[in-house]
Structure 1
Amino acid sequence: MAAAQAIGWSTGTRFSFAVVAEDDTPLGHVVAKVHRGGVAEVGYWTAAEVRGQGVAPRALEAVSQWALGAQHITPLTRLDLLHAEDNTASCHVAQKCGYPLRDLLPPAPPAFPGRAHRHVRISTS
């Protein structure tokens, strides 16, 4: 996995960030996967014991600002965040971080058996 992360950084296609506490305890992870046309897909997870404590919104907001403002990668103008339709917590995090709901995606079995939400954040600069 570390090799894949290093390749992503060196090629400018995938930027992964560990989310850690002050004592370096792992709390989560945020990733931006760059696609064509100035679009990247962002994703995140947090450890169960810190959910509901604001870790996900803070981490997502930091990476979102970085991705849309970074000068050393492909200029990004749009970030997409996808989650399962019934994941209300992720829906709340997306909206809190300026990712309004854009559309409802149909199931794509077998990997994605249910419908999904696509939230989109557009660069303001």
Structure 2
Amino acid sequence: MKTLDASTVHADDLDRLEDTLKTMQPDSELAFFLAALAAAVRDGSDIIAGREADLVTPAQAAKLLGISRVHLYKVMDAGDIPFVQVGRDRRLALGDVKTLLNERNAASKELAERLARTSDARAAALDSLDA
């Protein structure tokens, strides 16, 4: 896993990247990804890149997931995310971290939609009482 510190990227390099993007196919997945990368760096966001098989520490994984390291250990102990033992330390595959993040995001979205439907139903019921 490699982290690109946005503050170290020269504006000229981003300009050249964006010029190169103009020469790529508009429906290119790579062009879409590189455009998002360039926009994020311009906004000052650091970029983390890695292969799905790359191993990360629990501290790195917790940071990516936006949870505490202690909570991640509980998730690992519950068997909700696979890990490998490296000596006395644990490591997680970046792909497994991504999968857990996607699952958490999907669950959050589903909960928000369910709450919105409940709120809409409650509002409709209250409106019918007022009528």
TM over 0.5: same fold?
no
- The structure showing larger relative contact order (alpha-carbon pairs under 8 Å, at least 6 residues apart) is 2
Larger Rg: 2
Q: What TM-score do the two structures reach when normalised by structure 1? A: 0.26
Bigger share in helix: 2
Q: What TM-score do the two structures reach when normalised by structure 2? A: 0.25
Bigger share in strand: 1
